[in-house]
Amino acid sequence: MVNAKERIDTIYDVVKNRNPGETEFHQAVWEVIETLTPVLEKCPYYAKQKIIERICEPERQIIFRVPWQDDDGEVHINRGFRVGFNSALGPYKGGLRFHPSVLLGTIKFLAFEQTFKNALTGLPIGSGKGGSDFDPKGKSDNEIMRFCQSFMTELYRHIGEMTDVPAGDIGVGAREIGFLFGQYKRITNCYESGVLTGKSPSWGGALVRKEATGYGLVYFAEEMLKARNESLKGKVCVVSGSGNVAIYAIEKLQQLGAKVVACSDSGGVIYDERGIDLETVKEIKEVQRDRIKAYVAQHGEADYRDKGNIWDIPCDLAFPCATQNELDEKAAQTLVENGCLAVAEGANMPCTPEAVDCFMENNVAYGPGKAANAGGVATSALEMQQNASRDSWTFEHTEKRLRQIMANIHRDCYDTAREFDLDGNYVAGANIASFRRVADAMLAFGVI
């Protein structure tokens, strides 16, 4: 008989020792494997074949130099990363992040999370993640183009539509994807549409891809509320961040009858009691690329809180959509005291473990990112389908498929939690459902 708890503790100690200093990776691994004890007890063959040990080790890790010149001719050196974590279900799939905070541990944690998120979609995609410590902010289009071309000059040899399919993430939008794809096409001499997702719909991209993570997040929250005989209509919401995920979460919440009263960026928080004017936010962030405080210039009734905490604002629903570990235990306790009913993660691992425990202990419906924000990668996989068939779908068709995928993810998480007598525990449900899907494929392939 496997002593599952001891086995899990031992595995985690090995992960920490083999990956020193990578605290975000440690956190992501523990968040998953601590919920797998009942699985090992029920299915000891996973332990015998060391599936958890294998699933915690990336299949490949690539680090490379990215030299580029700015508009003044000065040479800069950045570091590029691509981690292919698991390909049991399909080619590596996951975004590229351009941000000064990017380190190998950051990419590994994101790629590890992607393993389970991608598995939950039910689509044939493995997991990967990549990026650079390059900061696009304040750079000209030509500087970003030169950086992207240098980055792809090394990355191209490691990717392909049957091998590894990157997409966008923080700091990598349609502009960057265009530059990256152009260089890939130039080097390889082939129009391999499926090698990158997040492309413009005018040259191979999927409609709804831009909106997908935010829309999918709201669809998942809607399913959580239905399970509690509640609805989105009339609910007061706060959405941290004001990037792509946040903007389109706000859009879908407003379409479904909710009222969003606050959003934010790294500078501070906008609180508009009458409801956030989304067109203003889009203009500021997508066109002007300005700070969110510019909102008050057009909406004098709104309140801008410099370096404020968005979680201090009373709400029915909270959507952390900015970055990892942005919502801590103190913020979680404030949300609980203010009567928050549900929290759904639009960012990757935005809630600290202590915050998650607080939500669970206080019966707040909590949708972990690997389930709640899977809409983006799901729609990327739909983009891959369209590229493979040389087809294009309507916005309505793609959104309908996205909504069904999110409903299926919710069902799988909810039913799996119930199977293990953990009713309402979406963390355990998501982890166990996705783990079994990946683990069974790994078992089928033998020891590789």
Note the pLDDT tens digit of each residue in 53-100: 999 999 999 999 999 999 999 999 999 999 999 999 999 999 999 999
pLDDT band at 8 (very low <50, low <70, confident <90, very high): very high
pLDDT at 403 over 90: yes
Nearest Cα to 379, choosing from 352, 349, 403? 403
How far apart CA 41 and CA 7 sit, in angstroms, is: 11
3-state secondary structure of 405: helix
pLDDT band at 348 (very low <50, low <70, confident <90, very high): confident
What are the beta bridge partners of residue 251?
A: none
Nearest Cα to 238, choosing from 211, 273, 267, 283? 273
Check if the beta carbon of residue 317 is closer than 8 Å to that of residue 345: no
Write down the pLDDT at residue 170. 87
Nearest Cα to 321, choosing from 239, 236, 406, 260? 239
Of 161-165, 347-351, 371-375, 395-399, the least confident: 347-351
CA 73 to chain centroid = 36
213 is in an annotated binding site: yes
194 is in an annotated binding site: no
Helix and strand numbers (H, E) in the chain are 18, 12
Q: What fold, for 60-191? A: Rossmann fold (3.40.50)
Given strand 75-86, what is the order of strands in its sheet? Answer: 60-69, 75-86, 127-132, 92-98, 164-168
HEC per residue, 198-257: CCCHHHCCCCCHHHHHHHHHHHHHHHHHHCCCCCCCCCEEEECCCCHHHHHHHHHHHHCC
pLDDT at 157 over 90: yes
Nearest Cα to 25, choosing from 117, 142, 112? 112
pLDDT at 22 over 80: yes
Kindly list the distances between the CA atom of residue 357 and the CA atoms of 38, 99, 166, in Å, as whole numbers in the listed order. Answer: 19, 29, 33
User: What residue spans define the domains of the chain?
Assistant: 4-55, 60-191, 210-372
pLDDT band at 397 (very low <50, low <70, confident <90, very high): very high
Write down the pLDDT at residue 12. 97
140 is in an annotated binding site: no
pTM: 0.92
Write down the pLDDT at residue 44. 94
Q: How many residues does the chain have?
A: 448
Active site residues: 129
Write down the pLDDT at residue 245. 95
168 is in an annotated binding site: yes
**Average pLDDT of the chain to the nearest whole number:** 96
What are the beta bridge partners of residue 34?
A: none
What percent of the chain is modeled with pLDDT above 70?
100
User: The domain 210-372: what is its CATH number?
Assistant: 3.40.50.720
pLDDT at 2 over 80: no
For 326-342, the pLDDT digits (tens) are 999 999 999 999 999 99
How far apart CA 168 and CA 300 sit, in angstroms, is: 35
Kindly state the tokens that stand for 31.
């968040």
- DSSP string computed for 266-332: TTEEEE-TT---HHHHHIIIIIS---GGGHHHH-TTSEEEET--GGGS--SEEE--S-TT-B-HHHH
Write down the pLDDT at residue 120. 98
pLDDT band at 14 (very low <50, low <70, confident <90, very high): very high
375 is in an annotated binding site: no
pLDDT at 383 over 80: yes
60's enclosing H/E stretch is strand 60-69
pLDDT band at 224 (very low <50, low <70, confident <90, very high): very high
How far apart CA 60 and CA 235 sit, in angstroms, is: 44
Characterise 20 by phi-psi region: left (phi > 0), alpha (psi -120 to 50), beta (else).
beta
pLDDT at 1 over 80: no
Q: Name the CA radius of gyration of the chain, rounded.
A: 21
394 is in an annotated binding site: no
Beta-carbon contacts of 115 under 8 Å, excluding residues fewer than 6 positions away, are 55, 85, 86, 126, 127, 434, 438
Nearest Cα to 108, choosing from 162, 143, 176, 60? 60
93 is in an annotated binding site: yes
